[in-house]
Amino acid sequence: MTEHANQNDTRLQELGYRQQLRRGLGIWSTFSVGVTTVAPVVGLYAIFSLGSALSGPVWLWMLLASLVAQLLVAVVYAELASEFPVAGGPYQWVRRLVGPRSGWFTGIVYISAVTAALTTVAYLAAPWVGLLFTGSEPHGLTRCLISAGLLALALAINASGVKIMGAVVIAGLGAEIVGSIVVGLALLLFFRVHDFSVLFETLGAPASSGSSTGSALLATLAVCGWAFVGFDSSASVAEETKGASTNVPRAIVRATAVVGGAVVLVAIAVMLATQNLTAVAHGEVPDPVTPTVIGSFGSWSEKPFLAVIVVTFVACLVSMQAYLGRITFGLARDGMLPASRKLASVTGRGQVPLVAMAATSIAAAAGLLLGLNEGAIGTMITFGTGGLYITFLLVVAAALFARLSGRWQPEGALQLGAKGLVINVLAFCWLAFETVNIAWPRTILAPPGAPAWQVWAVVWVFAAITCVAGLYLALARPLDNARSGKAL
């Protein structure tokens, strides 16, 4: 065994576990998992039209603000991942920093949030698949069936083991580079039709959506949160990463920075290359990205461009499904879930938690029924984003509590010292604000004429999850007989 392998196994044993998953990912693969899950193409192309319709070109400043704040969160996650390089990420961290009940609840919220995000990504991918293979967007039941088929394809790839999964996400990384950085630079350098000053204008977008400028900017900031989630996926494959204590933290921060830079670059480039910005700002163009790219490069670029986007979506689904499976595996291994024995099983030569991935993918497929109402896309994005930000808040709050109470003094490969506390406080303030902002009931992010339950979706769904989790905790008492790794 190499020195890294010995260190990996020793640290895992110190945390109370034996090696079950296959350690086959290097820094590049783990970084790629983070990049393809955060996914600049997936994140940006999903929210570009919505952000533009809410605030006009000025929405890009909300995007930049969200990126800077999320980098603070990524740094907190990186320091935690360095000390606790174990599958389950937030569940494991909060359990050790605060206690088993808090850790268990964080894990339940985390699974629910990533499942909702997996549903959203699959649903967002279907139109691009339809355009690539049929030349038209699918609607209604057809769109939901294509989305479910993409989930099945991702499961087949993940069932093959981490090496094949790693190859797919690296291919996705290449597609991300082409679809974001290459396209963005080309649009900015050769096809710009507007001056940079337009980025400070709203072009009447708030009034068009019936909002004040302030309300529109807050709603835009809530939507922008979607573009910078998923960096935590690198932490969830820690038990499959070589040199996890150093490589996982690097992957978390680098993935966030690289994706963030690419998202902002492409957003600016597409905005400045779009011919009729006023129509986009008034919500009259459902997809301003594709016409801008194809109109700039020429009709020959349509199929290659669509193919690149489909590859990025598939890679994102593979990465997200893989890390959702590891989150579920992490809780089930400790006996924290119903049917824990099956969910914690490792399958085949690839040594992957196939049952956990399959179960959560079925749940994600069931969520596609919401997509039968195509006007629900704003609700789906807000719901998926809201759950992930609640998880971020729980983790960062636990880290801050442990620092201030003296329960945790970072001893991993990454130690930020006094700067760590300052970053932790700033990240907590940002997440407390943004979580409320995302959950705030807004009719402008719901379908026209949407009922109150849909407008309040984030609030009532996670309130329901809290109630159900509380009942399960009281009646099933999973903590009584749970197998636990060692705490601090």
Length of the chain: 488
Read off the pLDDT of each residue in 181-207 and give the average, rounded to a whole number: 89
Residue 352 β-bridge partners: 347
d(CA 393, CA 29): 27
Give me the residue label for tokens 């900015």.
188
Percent of the chain clearing pLDDT 70 (strictly above): 87
pLDDT at 22: 65
pLDDT at 428: 97
CB contact set of 84 (below 8 Å; sequence gap of 6+): 15, 92, 93, 96, 412
pLDDT at 8: 60
The radius of gyration of the chain's CA atoms, rounded to the nearest angstrom, is 21
Would residue 25 be called left, alpha or beta, if left means φ above 0 and alpha means ψ between -120 and 50 degrees? Answer: beta
Using pLDDT thresholds of 50, 70 and 90, give the confidence band for residue 488. very low
User: Each residue of 338-386: pLDDT tens digit?
Assistant: 888 899 888 766 678 889 999 999 999 988 887 666 655 656 666 677 8
pLDDT at 487: 43
Q: How many C-beta atoms lie closer than 10 Å to residue 439's C-beta?
A: 22
Read off the pLDDT of each residue in 185-204 and give the average, rounded to a whole number: 90
Would residue 410 be called left, alpha or beta, if left means φ above 0 and alpha means ψ between -120 and 50 degrees? Answer: beta
Q: Is the pLDDT of residue 485 over 70?
A: no
pTM, two decimal places: 0.85
Residue 101 β-bridge partners: none
Lowest mean pLDDT among 36-45, 228-237, 274-283: 36-45
- In the chain, what are the domains? 3-475 (1.20.1740.10)
Nearest to 110 by CA among 340, 474, 388: 388
Output 30 or 324, whichever has higher pLDDT.
324
> Which of 275-279, 424-428, 473-477: highest mean pLDDT?
424-428
Using pLDDT thresholds of 50, 70 and 90, give the confidence band for residue 388. confident
User: Each residue of 150-176: pLDDT tens digit?
Assistant: 999 999 998 887 778 778 877 877 887
pLDDT at 462: 80
pLDDT at 98: 92
pLDDT at 151: 95
pLDDT at 79: 93
d(CA 34, CA 322): 11
3-state SS class at 263: helix
Tokens of 65: 């603000």
pLDDT at 153: 94
Lowest mean pLDDT among 208-217, 390-399, 455-464: 455-464
CA dihedral 252, 256, 257, 261 (to 10 degrees): 160
Q: How many C-beta atoms lie closer than 10 Å to residue 477's C-beta?
A: 10
Sign of CA dihedral 399, 400, 405, 406: positive
pLDDT at 150: 95
Calculate the CA 365 to chain-centre distance: 17
Residue 347 β-bridge partners: 352
Residues 166, 24: contact at Cβ < 8 Å?
yes
Read off the pLDDT of each residue in 388-397 and give the average, rounded to a whole number: 92
Q: Is the pLDDT of residue 34 over 90?
A: no
Q: What is the mean pLDDT of the chain?
A: 83
Residues 408, 131: contact at Cβ < 8 Å?
no
User: Each residue of 446-463: pLDDT tens digit?
Assistant: 666 777 777 787 788 788
Read off the pLDDT of each residue in 317-325 and give the average, rounded to a whole number: 88
Q: Is the pLDDT of residue 387 over 70?
A: yes
Calculate the CA 220 to chain-centre distance: 18
User: Each residue of 91-147: pLDDT tens digit?
Assistant: 889 998 998 888 889 988 889 888 888 888 898 889 889 999 988 888 888 988 999
Using pLDDT thresholds of 50, 70 and 90, give the confidence band for residue 78. very high
Q: Is the pLDDT of residue 426 over 90?
A: yes
pLDDT at 1: 41
Give me the residue label for tokens 């006094």.
418
